[in-house]
Chains A and B, each alone.
Chain A
Amino acid sequence: MSKAKQISIIGIFSALATLLMLLEIPMPQLVGFKYDGSEIATLMVGFMIGPWAGILTEIIKDLLYFAIRGTDIIGILMNLAAGIIFVGTASWIYKIHKTKVRAVFSMIAASLATTVGMAGLNLLVYPPYLHVSYIFILKDYLWIIVLFNLLKTGIDSTVVFLVYKKISTFFKVENWEGKKFVEGKYESKNLPR
């Protein structure tokens, strides 16, 4: 795939992810937590191009979100960490063998990794930041975080699983007029200077 195409896909999909993040849905059951579907777009890029592209999309999404609606820096950084763990793990496992079973396995592994990782990170960050005791977080707060992350990654994984095949067929179409494009021949680095 040419570099221009990679750049444009990452750019446009991070715009899409930012848009989905701005359309956040508050969760009535969990006070203060909001679900957003932005991981759907980043995970899609991670599956289509590769883990690094997915992580880049995630970083750009959070930077744009900060620039547009920047208030809670720690919250945005936590979202970034969760997204990087989720997208990185899933697309790394999927990259090795691209089968349907592998995709399901990768998303389950990534959901578990995100849940565990975010539980650890919350334990690490919030007690010194908000001056609450570790025991309080362990006893009363941790289950909310675990539940929230499981729900969020679960919804994202389900939607990606249902949707990915329909969209990735369009990804493989090189030319929308139906002509076959010779891969590599027209890459920007092979063009005469």
Chain B
Amino acid sequence: MNFIGNITIGQFIPKNSILHSADSRSKLIFMIIFIVAIFLSTNFYQYAILSLVVIFLMLLSKISPFYYLKGVKSLWILIVLTAVFQIFSGGGNVIFDLGPLRITDMAIYNTVFIVLRLVLVIVAASLLTFTTSPIQIADGIEGLMRILRFPREWSHDFSMMMSIAFRFIPVLSMEADHIIRAQLSRGATFDRGGLIQRAKGMIPLIVPLFVGSMKMADDLAIAMEARCYRGYEGRTKFREMHFRKRDYFIIGFGLFIVVFILVVRM
């Protein structure tokens, strides 16, 4: 019962492209700027520009569009529900009349608009997570905290916690797997009964899991102190991040898109 596959890799698809080798900080900043641009845009011309940019970046990442479609597919319920709500929202001229169901041109316009917005947001997030491994994203967040002038101690502790968490997800998933098997062999049930029955069924799973992770945390703390862990002072990094020309170019490109969107809006 291996319920989670390659979890530490996440959605990362290793390829040799410009987007893969770019600094994760610049990619994070670009994603934030791009999502702001999506929310700022209000008409189809702006969406056309954004879609072209997304297609260009998808080609640049050398990952087949099939993977992006998969990401969109995982949220199909949200997209379909929104589309259904939109199409009967009314307003404007009636195009299609079927008793109580009336579809107007405004409704179709709105539906296409919203679906496009959702898909763009999803693909923008996928562009980041496909080209950046989780560990790089964690490093990038620490770098962003450094750029935003958070106290040095905070950013160091935060990245330490994140890297510990990354390291321990596979360990804990294995432990959870063992505990589930052990409790099943003792006759526990997890997947039967109503919601309350299920919540009760989780207790024999949660208690050993939590106690085990508490013991792990204790051992880890002792190991860290035995090796004289004392925060950020005098620590060096194995993977150092460097801002290169292309990273400035990526951020500049993002800012250019936002300015362009705002100009087209006028």
Contact = CB atoms under 8 A, between A and B. Distances in A.
Interface of A: 2-5, 7-16, 18-19, 22-23, 25, 31-32, 37, 40-41, 44, 56, 60-61, 63-64, 66-75, 129-133, 136, 151, 155, 158-159, 162-163, 166-167, 170-171, 173, 176, 186, 188-189, 191
Contacts of B81: 31-32
Contacts of B137: 63, 66-67
Contact of B199 (A13, A56, A72, A155): A155
B249 interface: no
A173 B81 CA distance: 51
A71 B75 contact: yes
Contacts of A170: 211, 214-215
Contact of A163 (B39, B157, B203): B203
B263 interface: no
A41 B230 CA distance: 26
Contacts of B163: 11
Contacts of A68: 7, 10-11, 134
Nearest to A130: B82
Contact of A19 (B141, B173, B214): B173
Given A8-B221, A163-B206, A3 B231 contact: yes
B204 to A, nearest CB: 10
Contact of A15 (B71, B164, B206, B214): B164
B85 A132 contact: yes
Contacts of A191: 228, 230
B97 interface: no
Interface residues of B, number: 71
Nearest to A181: B222
B218 A72 contact: no
Given A60-B165, A72-B78, A163-B206, A188 B113 contact: no
Contacts of B203: 159, 162-163
B176 interface: yes
Interface of B: 3-4, 7, 10-11, 35, 39, 71, 74-75, 77-78, 81-82, 85-86, 89, 110, 113-114, 117, 121-122, 125-126, 128-129, 134, 137-138, 141, 157-158, 160-169, 172-173, 176, 195, 198-199, 202-203, 206-207, 209-211, 213-221, 224-225, 228-231
Given A11-B162, A12-B213, A40-B206, A70 B113 contact: no
Contact of B176 (A19, A44, A60): A19
Q: Is the contact region of chain A dominated by helix, strand, or loop, or is it mixed?
A: helix
A96 to B, nearest CB: 24
Nearest to B225: A4
Contact of B165 (A14, A129, A131): A14
Contact of B210 (A10, A16, A158): A16
A71 B160 CA distance: 25
5 contacts: A60-B161, A69-B10, A70-B11, A71-B75, A188-B231
A66 B166 CA distance: 12
- By Cβ-Cβ distance, the 3 closest A-B pairs, closest first, are A11-B164, A5-B221, A67-B134
Contacts of B169: 15, 18-19, 64
Contacts of A151: 195
B161 A73 contact: no
